[in-house]
Amino acid sequence: MAPTRFFVGLALIVGLASPGTVGAEAPLDWRYCLALSDLENGVYASAPFRSGPNLSDLERAFETHLDKLGVKHGVAICPRSDTELDALAARDDAMVFHQVRGLSSAIAAGEFEP
């Protein structure tokens, strides 16, 4: 009986370490990006989108996108969410948060696709 358990356990371990599972891509997160603009007294955000885990590339891509639009902005952030609805709600909450503090807000990067 013990050898059977050993081989079943070994089969499970080998199955878990098969090429199809090890190193597989991480599931995509839902994100939106946001950047403040002190010069324009505003906040700019993107629509929610799906993305992989490389956060610094996303933030740089959003900053580059805003640069191409001629928006003077600060550092971008791209928070993650579990669902598109969560990302949309978080983005809208952030926009309201900044509006209450006197900043204008815009979904200035609706066409942003990382």
Range of the domain at 60: 24-109
Q: Give the pLDDT mean for 66-77.
A: 91
Number of domains, the chain = 1
Q: Contact 78/14 with Cβ under 8 angstroms?
A: no
In-domain check, residue 10: no
- pTM for the model stands at 0.71
In-domain check, residue 18: no
In-domain check, residue 43: yes
Write the DSSP string, 35-92.
Answer: EEETTTTEEEEEPPEEE-S-HHHHHHHHHHHHHHTT-----EE--EESSHHHHHHHHH
What band does 108 get if pLDDT is binned at 50, 70 and 90? Answer: low
In-domain check, residue 48: yes
In-domain check, residue 3: no
Distances in Å between the alpha carbon of 51 and those of 8, 29, 38, 83, 114?
Answer: 37, 5, 28, 12, 8
**Per residue in 15-62, pLDDT tens?**
333 344 444 566 799 999 999 988 778 899 999 999 987 899 999 999
In-domain check, residue 4: no
In-domain check, residue 35: yes
